[in-house]
A and B are shown apart, each in its own frame.
Chain A
Amino acid sequence: MDSVEKRISDKELVSRVRAGDQDAMGALYDRYSRLVYAVGLRVLGDSAAAEDVLQEVFMQLWRNPTRFDASRGSLGVWVAVIARNRAIDALRKRRYESDIEDIVVSVEPDLASEADRSRAAKNVRDLLNGMHPAQRQAVEMAFFEGLTHTEIAAKIGEPLGTIKTRIRAGLLALRKALKP
């Protein structure tokens, strides 16, 4: 199953999307819709709103496929980050602030097959599970709730500097554990 699914690379599919190939778009949807939907649902906690984010993310890819630069990282992570940013914008009821052109994700996990995606997700979850709970809380509140360090500090009653330190240390821990 994986070998068939992975036979066509993301780069090739995006190239076909650039040429207006709807089937290629469908293949990318089948590959990454679950991840994009999961991110939307995690941020928004509402299936209808997550479905809107899902639709928006893939329509953005359809309209602007050249914005994805395959030399700069993984398409799966790229669409997941766009989903996160769109969902945070929706959560905070603000206009879309994040131009997808500004998103550069220089991270390389190969997510083209279901097995790759499951492995990468497990690695990140294992790392988060092993993190100090306060550090994990700070990082997740910033990423999945889009809260500023000021808001996080007020919410959990910790000094601003402590929150800043925890967030940076959390990101560096991810880098150390998961990047080659």
Chain B
Amino acid sequence: MNVHSRFAEDLALYALGTLEGNEQAELEEHLKDCGECRYELEQLRGDAALLALSASGSAPPERARGRLMNALTREPRISLEQPSMRRISWWSQMGWVAAAAAVVIAAIVWRTDAGLSSRMATLQKEFNEQQTELQRAQEVTATLTATDAVRVTIIPPRTTPQPQGRAIYVPSRSSLIFLANNMPALPAQRAYELWLIPSSGSAIPAGVFKPDARGNVTLVNLRLPQRVGTETFAITVEPETGSQLPTSRPIMLGTGE
């Protein structure tokens, strides 16, 4: 029994929101690292959702519509028209924080001085630009991390595939995307760790990862702790919790092109 079939039935219960206790905790831990099971969970949630359609009965009382419309009138809203957001939790929250900020700003501007409306328009424009940029970043990440992405390594014929990694690092944003393939599997409780090697000083940890069953790796780290001007990267094998400084010799090393 492989690890996915082990969780297959629990996934169905989890999709219905009826898994509990240790089984729930264990599955949630597994889901953090298993895109295949996350995809299956989404499918199962869709399957379960169909059950709702089997509910039938009479229409709600007419007063319910009036009650809703009255409630809407009591809660008028300033327009929040904006592009629909892909569902990535912390980004979505960031979008809502920005949206909430825009609403608060709008309220203050309206109350204090209508002449400030041009300032509001500028803020709204900036907000929209940020949303566009955010959406683009989400699309890039979604492509890189999609569970159904096709990854192809092209090599000369009759060559043994070698581990190969590519890091895309933007110092001004402290953001990093690392892709690799043909990475050998590691013993239990060991993981690879990516390091930024500055021209002086200690190596800086940039992410701990394990390859999937086919040796592929996608590591997205958009929040490196500090800006480092470097073009040199190294990979070492570390305990699976990661290390603050390398504890073994690099097995892969690369410098910017």
A residues whose Cβ falls under 8 Å from a Cβ of B: 15, 18-20, 22, 25-26, 29-30, 33-35, 37-39, 41-42, 47, 50-51, 54-55, 58-59, 62-63, 65-66, 68-73, 77-78, 80-81, 83-85, 88, 97-98, 101, 103-107, 109, 117, 120-121, 123-125, 128, 139-140, 142-144, 146-150, 164-165, 167-168, 171-172, 174-175, 178-179
Q: Which one, B13, B50, B89, contacts A142 given CB within 8 A?
A: B13
Q: Are B46 and A66 in contact (CB under 8 A)?
A: no
Q: How far is the CA of A29 from the CA of B54 in the complex (A)?
A: 19
Q: Are B52 and A22 in contact (CB under 8 A)?
A: no
A105: B residues at CB distance < 8 A: 45-46, 49
- Identify the closest chain B residue to A106 (Cβ): B46
Q: Which one, B9, B51, B84, contacts A168 given CB within 8 A?
A: B9
B73: A residues at CB distance < 8 A: 22
B87: A residues at CB distance < 8 A: 69, 72, 101, 104
Q: Are B68 and A121 in contact (CB under 8 A)?
A: no
Would you call the interface of chain B mostly helix, strand, loop, or mixed?
helix
Q: Are B79 and A34 in contact (CB under 8 A)?
A: no
Q: Are A146 and B18 in contact (CB under 8 A)?
A: yes
Q: Are B12 and A18 in contact (CB under 8 A)?
A: no
B12: A residues at CB distance < 8 A: 164, 167-168, 171
Instruction: Given A25-B72, A38-B56, answer yes or no on A106-B45 (Cβ-Cβ < 8 Å).
Output: yes
Rounded to whole Å, the gap between the CB of B154 and the closest CB of chain A is: 32
Rounded to whole Å, the gap between the CB of B126 and the closest CB of chain A is: 19
Instruction: Given A106-B42, A124-B50, A179-B46, answer yes or no on A164-B57 (Cβ-Cβ < 8 Å).
Output: no
- Identify the closest chain A residue to B57 (Cβ): A38
- Identify the closest chain B residue to A41 (Cβ): B57
Query: Could you jot down 17 A-B contacts, CB within 8 Å?
Result: A18-B82, A19-B81, A29-B65, A35-B55, A39-B52, A51-B61, A59-B68, A66-B96, A73-B49, A77-B46, A85-B17, A107-B46, A107-B49, A148-B20, A164-B13, A168-B9, A168-B13
Interface residues of B in 50-72 (CB under 8 A from A): 50-57, 59-61, 64-65, 67-69, 71-72
**At the interface, yes or no: B76 with Cβ under 8 Å from chain A?**
yes
Q: Are B10 and A164 in contact (CB under 8 A)?
A: yes
B residues whose Cβ falls under 8 Å from a Cβ of A: 8-13, 15-20, 42-57, 59-61, 64-65, 67-69, 71-73, 75-82, 84-87, 89, 92, 95-96, 99
When A and B form their complex, what is the total count of cross-chain residue pairs whose Cβ atoms lie within 8 Å? Answer: 195
Q: Are A37 and B60 in contact (CB under 8 A)?
A: yes
Q: Which one, A139, A150, A171, contacts B20 given CB within 8 A?
A: A150
Q: How far is the CA of A163 from the CA of B26 in the complex (A)?
A: 19
Q: Are A106 and B43 in contact (CB under 8 A)?
A: yes
Rounded to whole Å, the gap between the CB of A132 and the closest CB of chain B is: 16
Q: Are A104 and B64 in contact (CB under 8 A)?
A: no
Q: How far is the CA of A90 from the CA of B67 in the complex (A)?
A: 20
B45: A residues at CB distance < 8 A: 81, 103-106
Q: Which 9 A-B pairs have the closest CB atoms?
A: A80-B52, A107-B46, A168-B12, A37-B60, A38-B55, A164-B9, A171-B47, A42-B55, A38-B57
Q: How far is the CA of A65 from the CA of B67 in the complex (A)?
A: 19
